[in-house]
Amino acid sequence: MAATRPGAPVIVDLLFLLAVAVMWLVIAYQLALALAGSWLWRRTRGRDPLPANEDLDWPTLSVLIPAHNEESVIERTLSSLLAQTYPADRLEILVISDASTDRTAELVATCGRKHPSVRLLEIPPGQGGRGKSAALNTGMRHVDGELVAIYDADNTPEPDALKILVRELLLDRTLGAALGMFRTINRDRNLLTRFVNLETIAFQWIVQAGRWCLGRVSTLPGTNYVIRREILERLGGWDEQAIAEDSELSLRVYELGKFIKFVPSAVTWEQEPETLGVWLRQRTRWARGNNYVVAKFLRRRPRFQSKLIAFELVAFLALFYVFFAAIIVSDVLFVLCVTGLATANLAGPFNVVFVAAIGLFLLQLAHVASFEGERVPAVLLTGILMYFTYCQLWIVVVIRALYEDHVLRREHVWDKTPRFPSPRTGELLPQAAPQRKESP
């Protein structure tokens, strides 16, 4: 414990107590979610997500891929979708080339001549460029599937991904949609991509899996999900003003009384930002999109089936700000402990309490990362580096998003994440990834 200083301001002690309480409250909630996610992993580990003795009537399925200048990745994405085990006569793939000025349309058209299930819908420059939601709504008018799957243009879904997601919808009519897991295909590119890899694993196994187990709540990502066509039609499609169209659509699905299930055995691999500038632009866009969704639903005051669902959805929407507050509080605690200002008039091992909180965070991270074959010692080391670097960047993201929304009042415009050179064939999937048939 830090040495006490007689006469230290009482306000410092009160701030310290408040900071400790807030930090442990957040960690306790995350711990409950992590334990629930761990239960899901252990309960289904080793089970085949596609039992051989099932005889299902597979419905028609339309895959929509919005694409703007995606020549560097679109061929790999189409190859992975054509390799799906979903019945080929029940599957159609539509690429919406939204005002592309590169070879995206040419590459898709070439693929379509070889594979009739692949079609191209071109929105020419000058008419397109209105964002992902607008492209998806346009695409919906050109497909007929009973179910609709969404993939970003940089995705590489594993062969059974579509079958696994559709199976969940066939077995449970209360589900409006089912989402899979996304992994980082360029995880080993640099330290930033390693940070993002751990962040996405933790988010999915703690926030998504945990909330599904505790309250049947999960929220759509921007890719690797299947939704019932009838649900989309009842909802009027995607909100074209929303740049976080996945979060916005999730809330409206729950308003209808339907559920969205997290199915981690349905896996896709995607690119993550490899430079800090690209990462900052992407996460600022996410935060601004989240601001829009929060404002929209606060005005509407939606009603959900239960208070638990309402709480979990509100907690999800507040995630950016909860994480922002947790980092600020953690930083305050760190400074107070290091300078010795903390616990001046308080008895107790408060410094130990702070260190224990950080340790618990690291253990949670290492535990869920081990589900995906990550090595625990490496995760612990990377996690420590993340706390002092990557996590601090979220302060910049949230402040920047609030500044652009409420000071500059910038229009919400879709800003596509730049792509990086695709991995060579031999390095497509990181070797640390476990075999998915042994995962939940």
CA–CA gap between residue 209 and residue 324 (Å, rounded): 22
H helix intervals, 73-228: 74-82, 104-114, 132-140, 161-171, 191-202, 209-215
Q: Please report how many Cα atoms fall inside a 13 Å half-sphere around the Cα of residue 126, on the Cβ side.
A: 1
Which residue type occupies 215? G
Instruction: Give the residue carrying structure tokens 């397109």.
Output: 128
Averaged over successive runs of 10 residues, the pLDDT of the chain (440 residues) comes to: 50 71 81 94 84 90 96 96 97 96 95 96 85 95 97 96 98 97 96 97 95 93 97 96 92 94 96 95 91 85 76 73 74 71 58 78 92 94 92 89 85 72 48 38
Instruction: Judge whether 151 and 63 are in contact, CB under 8 Å.
Output: yes
Q: For the chain, give the number of residues.
A: 440
Structure confidence at residue 340 (pLDDT): 67
Q: Are strands 118-123 and 91-98 parallel, antiparallel or unpaired?
A: parallel
Structure confidence at residue 148 (pLDDT): 99
User: In CATH, which superfamily holds the domain spanning 8-440?
Assistant: Spore Coat Polysaccharide Biosynthesis Protein SpsA; Chain A (3.90.550.10)
From residue 49, give the alpha-carbon distance in Å to each of 45, 70, 263.
10, 32, 9
Structure confidence at residue 430 (pLDDT): 43
Return phi, psi of residue 183, to 5°. Answer: -120, 165
From residue 147, give the alpha-carbon distance in Å to each of 40, 58, 167, 197, 298.
26, 10, 11, 30, 30
pTM: 0.86
Structure confidence at residue 415 (pLDDT): 67
Structure confidence at residue 52 (pLDDT): 81
Structure confidence at residue 9 (pLDDT): 60
Q: Are strands 147-150 and 61-67 parallel, antiparallel or unpaired?
A: parallel
The pair of three-digit structure tokens given for residue 78, joined into one six-digit string? 């189409």
Instruction: Judge whether 413 and 290 are in contact, CB under 8 Å.
Output: no
